[in-house]
Amino acid sequence: MPVYKRTYRNYDGAYVPRFRWWLVVKQEFRVLGKYRIFLALMLVAQLHTLVRFLQILAYDVIMQDPNNILTPLLSQVDFIVVNQRMFYEYVQLQAPLLLVFMLYAGSGMICNDFRNNLMEVYFSKPIRWRDYVAGKLLALILLGLSITALPAVILVVLHNILLPSWELLQASWWWPLSLLAFSLLLVVPCALATLASSALLRSQGFAAVSVFMVLSINSSMGVILARLLYNRDYLLVSFPATLYRLGQELFDVPGYRFQSDWRWSMAFVAVVCVVSLAAIVRTVRRAEIAA
């Protein structure tokens, strides 16, 4: 019977101890990029950006020119004004599409790995649960930001280029920060909730519909409760309303204006994030131990 040498065999490949989560991110983008429907959704998501681009063009170029024949016509339209409210509304209107994106891209991220026994493949490599979770989460966050903060910041820059003035710069320097913060407020809980659902359920379809179901019923309950009790503070129950309310605080635009402190809204978001993260970590760590 032959006795095989059990000495260490050197691995020729380069081992990268840091940024291992980036491999997971790249893998997710590679997989998503293969689906034509995903690319089509990306394109649809930018249609709104195109409309806002035209709005900025109309406001910055046409309306600033008193001799232009379209100026009197455009000045009749209230919502053409480019200000912080416009940017808040831009991100707010992207939110439903963001949810669709998250459900499309995120609902299968973990459960499909379980289904296809990829957890064992991931954890047989020098990837730990932290890298795995961070990679998946980051992939979704980057995806979310690519249809919210990124185009919005580009629009802000464009607005400043088309209408260069010190006053505008002074007035708008904080817009990108607010845009990023509001986008993160929308994207992070949504990504975490989707991933948590994907970790807890073994079906991509059910993971997607569960997130949507909970969000939808929560939103409706909040609205109905507020209406029946004639008290807007009950909108706090609605998670989307809570997020929009925080966005309004960030952009300083009047809107829901609950009586309750904004910190309550922030606490609600934090609880959702922590609970979701705990669910993801628990499931993934179990898988790592099993692998």
Partner 1 sequence: MTTTTKSAFDEALLRRHENRPKRISYLGYVGVSMSLALIILLRRQRLLMAAIIALLPVTIPAATAYLSESEFADYGSQIFVHLVEQLHINVLAPLLALFFATMQVGEDVESNTLVYMQTRPTPRSAWVLGRYLAYLVVTSLLLVVSIVLTFIASTSLPGIGINPSDVMLLAHYCGVALLAVMAYGALALLLGAATRRPIVYGVLLLYGWQGLASAVPGVVDFLTIKKYTDALLPVLATQRQNFSMETELGTFQKQVFLVDGISALATLFVATALFLAYSIYCVRQREFASSRAIGN
Binding interface with partner 1 (CB under 8 A) = 34-37, 96, 99-100, 103-104, 107, 115, 201, 203-206, 208-210, 212-214, 216-217, 220-221, 223-225, 227-231, 234
For residue 209, the minimal CB distance to partner 1 (Å) is 5
Q: Report d(CA 147, CA 98) in Å as an integer.
A: 7
For residue 142, the minimal CB distance to partner 1 (Å) is 19
Nearer to partner 1, 206 or 262 (CB): 206
For residue 213, the minimal CB distance to partner 1 (Å) is 5
For residue 264, the minimal CB distance to partner 1 (Å) is 16
Q: Report d(CA 169, CA 208) in Å as an integer.
A: 42
For residue 109, the minimal CB distance to partner 1 (Å) is 14
Nearer to partner 1, 16 or 221 (CB): 221
Four-point Cα dihedral 157, 159, 161, 162, nearest 10: 160
Nearer to partner 1, 171 or 221 (CB): 221
Asked if 28 contacts 122 with a C-beta cutoff of 8 angstroms, the reply is no
Q: Around Cβ 266, how many Cβ atoms within 10 Å?
A: 15
Q: Around Cβ 4, how many Cβ atoms within 10 Å?
A: 5
Nearer to partner 1, 145 or 207 (CB): 207
Nearer to partner 1, 21 or 101 (CB): 101
For residue 43, give both structure tokens: 């394109």
The position carrying tokens 């609902």 is: 107
2: left (phi over 0), alpha (psi -120 to 50) or beta: beta
